[in-house]
Structure 1
């Protein structure tokens, strides 16, 4: 199915890349990655331009996915989950949303999941767009630059090893967020300890 979808959008060139990437950030199940690779294989020198088109379209689609989550996501959650669970999930996503969004941008998990959840849990749309801008830039431009520099020879890296490369970045980010959280917790405990000592 992914191949059929990419072949369909491939016929429209840059416009197809834009449309696929836009709807990928909203609700479409097949990632725009497949169309980007197909078009880059046809013309490797256009790799960076294709990455730019896909990247911009993704950022434009992100707030649309957010609005869908905000308007439709919460009623569905409240219908199937207990209110306390929804409240806890909202609190958790609000507290750790930046980690989920940024790390999620490097995983095979469809990015639309994070745009919709962000709206559903009332996460800051500006933070969503900001972290999406960072994570999605890496994902689009690694593919684009690879094809631009190495041509069709980069197909094996992109199709077979890129997932592992992105997973490694995700693991590093998880570690960084973990240590940041521990450091912040330690900083909060220090003033409390000093107040108790003074008291």
Structure 2
């Protein structure tokens, strides 16, 4: 099944509206959606390496826009939307402690969450709930998300053929590794923060 999703995403890169969908996924990931845009970004960059940097830029600016929605959820709609969303993802228990950390060291927390494969939506909602400075949120989001997405794009643009062979030859192992890292990020948020 994962192979079919991967192949579908590679095929999607050739569609006229692929970049729009990449932006939608990236926007949603920063505020409410459980899957990161990297799942779509990497295959799109492999299929169209000449557009890799453009795809990274699309992911970056739409992720920052999505971070503003996450902030708005935390700031103005926390009880109505934020708490149920955090509960659905299993983050409710440690959220107050995490929000206090963001209030104290917001830029560094936001930069870390924006850069790492852990759920950024939790950080953006927390930033809104503690009324973090918006400029700080935007700068940290651009730096962290930009670094993450451009790293993926540059590596694939540079080593795309090697990466393609690696994925084709070891897809199942890489899928397991990605799944472990993905859910490990959720576990870090839930238990360590």
Q: Deviations over 1:72-122 (max 9, x none)?
A: 225666xx99xxx95x76543211222211111222211111111101121
Matched, 1:129 2:134: no
Choose from 67, 82, 91 the match for 1:62.
Answer: 67
Query: Are 2:115 and 1:106 aligned?
Result: yes
Matches within 5 A, 1:76-95: 86=96, 90-95=99-104
More displaced, 133-142 or 55-64? 55-64
Which of the numbers 11, 18, 23 marks the counterpart of 1:13?
18
1:145 Cα shift?
Answer: 0.9
Structure 2 SS opposite 1:26: coil
Map 1:32-51 onto structure 2 (within 5 A).
32-51=37-56
Question: Which string of whole-angstrom CA distances, capped at 9 and with x for unpartnered residues, describes residues 118-154 of structure 1?
Answer: 0112111211111111111110100111122222323
Report the alpha carbon displacement of residue 53 of structure 1 after superposing the two structures with TM.
1.1
2:28 maps to 1:23 = yes
Rounded to whole Å, the distance in 1 between the matches of 2:31 and 2:122 is 8
Unaligned runs of 5+ in 1: 164-199
Gap change, CA 1:34 and 1:120, over 3 Å in 2: same
Give, in whole Å, the separation in 2 of the partners of 1:152 and 1:70: 45
Change (3 A) 1:101 1:130: same
Correspondences of 1:142-153 after superposition (within 5 Å): 142-153=151-162
Q: CA RMSD in A?
A: 3.3
1:9–1:21 Cα change, 3 Å? farther
Cα distance, 1:47 vs structure 2: 0.9
Aligned length: 156
TM-score normalized by the length of structure 1: 0.65
Distance 1:89 1:114, change over 3 A: closer
Q: Quote the Cα distance in structure 2 between the aligned partners of 1:138 and 1:92.
A: 23
2:57 matches 1:52:
yes
Question: In the TM superposition, what is the alpha-carbon distance from 1:33 to its structure 2 partner?
Answer: 0.5
Asked if the contact 1:73/1:117 (under 8 Å) is kept, the reply is: no
Give the Cα–Cα distance (whole angstroms) in 2 for the partners of residues 122 and 116 of structure 1.
10
